[in-house]
Amino acid sequence: MPSPSLDFWFDLASNYSYLSVMRIETRAAQAGVTVRWRPFLLGPILDTLGWEGPPFVVQKEKGAYVWQDMRRLCRKYGLPWRQPSEFPRRAVLATRVAVLAADEPWLPAWCRAVMTRNYGDDREVDSPEAVAQILTALGLPARQIVDEAGSDANRLRLRERTQAARDLGIFGAPTFFAGEEMFWGNDRLEDALDAALTARQASGGD
């Protein structure tokens, strides 16, 4: 019987993805669910959907609220928070590294480090220098990884991943899939984990 699993689609530039990137390993471990990390780029999907940017950037009334919401949620979850002076902050190279690291044990640590630098420290996360600095701090061969992340093959991998997100009907981040059941938003992480457990029980047998 396969262990229950949850697909975790997120964007390294997305503020609500930050909350789930930081929380999901602990919560999933408590629930006994394996997480499959699926970094993608939300920007091209929002373009397709006709948005001119993140919905709450387009609508300024909601935008002001979102920072208040983020501040409160980070306090509640015990996460570092500094309102970013630039939003959304480009993180394409960092996302290419995440896609390259699909099967690496350091992928979650990479994502947490990138997001903490953006949302905890208000620092840019897209330059080769920033990316190399974070990789080095994780004890990884920065130069080699940055080169591979920028290769044509890996760029294509990210485009395919983003197309896969589009094909799944994803319209925001983070988004979770328990089997084929979609859950949108950090607020649904716990419900998605519950669904992953239920789906596994429903599939029966060992």
Nearer residue to its own copies within complex by CB, 150 or 179: 179
Task: Give the other-Cβ count within 10 Å of 159's Cβ.
Answer: 14
Whether the Cβ atoms of residue 172 and residue 186 lie closer than 8 Å to each other: no
Least separation in angstroms between residue 187's CB and its own copies is 5
Q: Is 14 a catalytic residue?
A: yes
Query: Site residues (CB under 8 A) for its own copies?
Result: 49-50, 55, 59, 61-62, 64-65, 68-69, 72, 76, 169, 171-172, 181-182, 184, 187-188, 191
Q: Which of 5, 14, 20, 151 is catalytic?
A: 14
Nearer residue to its own copies within complex by CB, 77 or 151: 77
Least separation in angstroms between residue 62's CB and its own copies is 5
Nearer residue to its own copies within complex by CB, 51 or 106: 51
Least separation in angstroms between residue 111's CB and its own copies is 24
Quote the distance between the C-alpha of residue 81 and its chain's center.
17
Listed in sequence order, the residues at least 6 apart from 185 whose beta carbon sits closer than 8 Å to its beta carbon are 16, 172, 174, 175
Residue 3 parent element (H or E) = none
Listed in sequence order, the residues at least 6 apart from 10 whose beta carbon sits closer than 8 Å to its beta carbon are 17, 20, 21, 37, 38, 39, 40, 111, 173, 174, 175
Least separation in angstroms between residue 195's CB and its own copies is 8
Nearer residue to its own copies within complex by CB, 4 or 172: 172
Alpha-carbon span 126 to 110, nearest angstrom: 13
Residue 181 parent element (H or E) = strand 181-184
Indicate which residues carry an active-site annotation.
Answer: 14
